[in-house]
Amino acid sequence: MRKLHSLGPRDLSINRREFLRQVAGMGLLNAAKGFSPIGAQTFPKLSVSRRKAVVVTFGGGARDQETFAPEGQENIPHLLSEVLPEASFYSRVVNRGILGHYVATASLVTGVYERFDNFADVAPEHPTIFEYFRRQLRRPPEDAWVIAPSNGFNRIGQSSHPSFRGGSGYGADVILPKRMLEAVPSLHTDKLRHLLQDNYENAFEVPQAQFGDARLSRIETLLKLSLSDFAAHASTLESPDELSVYLAKRLMREVSPSLIWITLHDMDVAHAGAFSLYIDAIRRTDRLCAEIWKAIEAEPEYKDKTNLFIIPDFGRDSDTDPGGNGFQHHRTGDPMSRSTWMIAMGPGVHRGTIVDRPVESIDLAPTIASIFSCKAPFATGKTIQEFVA
Ligand SMILES: [Zn+2]
């Protein structure tokens, strides 16, 4: 049985301190004190032309108490034992924006708290990190990709901002694995139905993505993967996020883009109200994140050149807020749903280190820009201190 917790802002901060104490006690991590900026030692050794960045949203909304709080650690064994010793852990990340998955992820990619309707078929209003990156470094379309769980994320790769003339083609291509599955001619829906759940908030209508034949065949060609082979492999997988990670690995192997953004989403099944399914999804996400890091380490094109960032889009409601229904939703905007964390790995990152200084989720986009020696002039977030070039 799940224990009920009555976490308010003060308790949450105590809980995080307890977490820091425990993990430090396990010998996995250094103390946060004495953390020094990455500085000039590591970054300049790697030229911008060889650097890569992968972002994984630990997405769908996960709370502290089911992840990094002491009582949640049993759900994230891979992050704790395989990932954190190689990573800097930012223990105090705050999201002050709208807590809907598409708009919150759009805020992560633009570095601005986007204000549009989460369920509208619109592009981010501010330039995305993909557009800054591709235009400033003159990179081809194949060098920046998003793999997204929901058809509602179709337009996340490219903004409508006037500085990019409302979509001038500098964005990232967006792979929608479920749209690809649906396009398989002889789809055995019984075997694949569990992979086609598009949106866990059924009260809302999600716009249908346009995923034309040209876009599909381009992806087939680049990934060297026929739709029928894709469907055959998909039938062996457990969840939509496994499907996304499968495609991400294929993309790394066949195309080797410099910037990949993978949005995981399985744990949003929590909206259905089944705590066990929510926990199963967190455990799966934990495993998949470690798998992605292993894939980076195994691919010569990525090994020792890639910064990986793992960040939840946001949390979920606390059990005691009268406006919510606990883990099930993210509607109250309470501290539990806004407080999250981030993991950074790869060149220049201090391993096994906790950074307890507050940062905001919109700081990620300018931080990635800094890794590629780009500017993100419309981002309102700030480059995270350790990544200032
Ligand atoms: Zn949700």
pLDDT of residue 5: 40
Å from CA of 189 to ligand 1 middle = 25
Domain boundaries 11-387, CATH class: alpha beta
Higher pLDDT, 358 or 322: 358
pLDDT-derived band at 33, boundaries 50, 70, 90: very low
> What integer is the mean pLDDT of 10-16?
59
Measured in Å, residue 267 CA sits from the centre of ligand 1 at 8
264 alpha carbon – ligand 1 mean position (Å):
12
Has residue 248 got a pLDDT over 70? yes
> What single letter denotes the amino acid at residue 55?
V
CA of 139 to the centre of ligand 1 (A): 34
111, amino acid identity? G
pLDDT at 3 > cutoff 70: no
The model carries a pTM of 0.91
Give 89 Cα–ligand 1 centroid separation in angstroms. Answer: 24
CA of 171 to the centre of ligand 1 (A): 26
Compute, in angstroms, the gap from residue 389 CA to the centroid of ligand 1: 35
- Taking 50 as the threshold, does the pLDDT of residue 35 lie above it? no
Confidence of residue 320 (pLDDT cuts 50, 70, 90): confident
Tell how far the Cα of 152 is from the centroid of ligand 1, in angstroms.
13
pLDDT band at residue 2 under the 50/70/90 scheme = very low
Q: What is the per-residue pLDDT for 43?
A: 54
Confidence of residue 151 (pLDDT cuts 50, 70, 90): confident
pLDDT digits (tens, 9 = 90+) for 173-189: 999 998 888 888 766 66
Ligand 1 centroid to Cα of residue 102, in Å, is 10
Q: Quote the ligand 1 centre to 270 CA distance (angstroms).
A: 8
Give the model confidence (pLDDT) of 267-288 as tens digits: 999 999 999 999 999 999 999 9
Distance 116 CA to ligand 1 centre (A): 16
Delimit the domains of the chain by residue range: 11-387
Two tokens, residue 239:
């969840």
CA of 287 to the centre of ligand 1 (A): 21
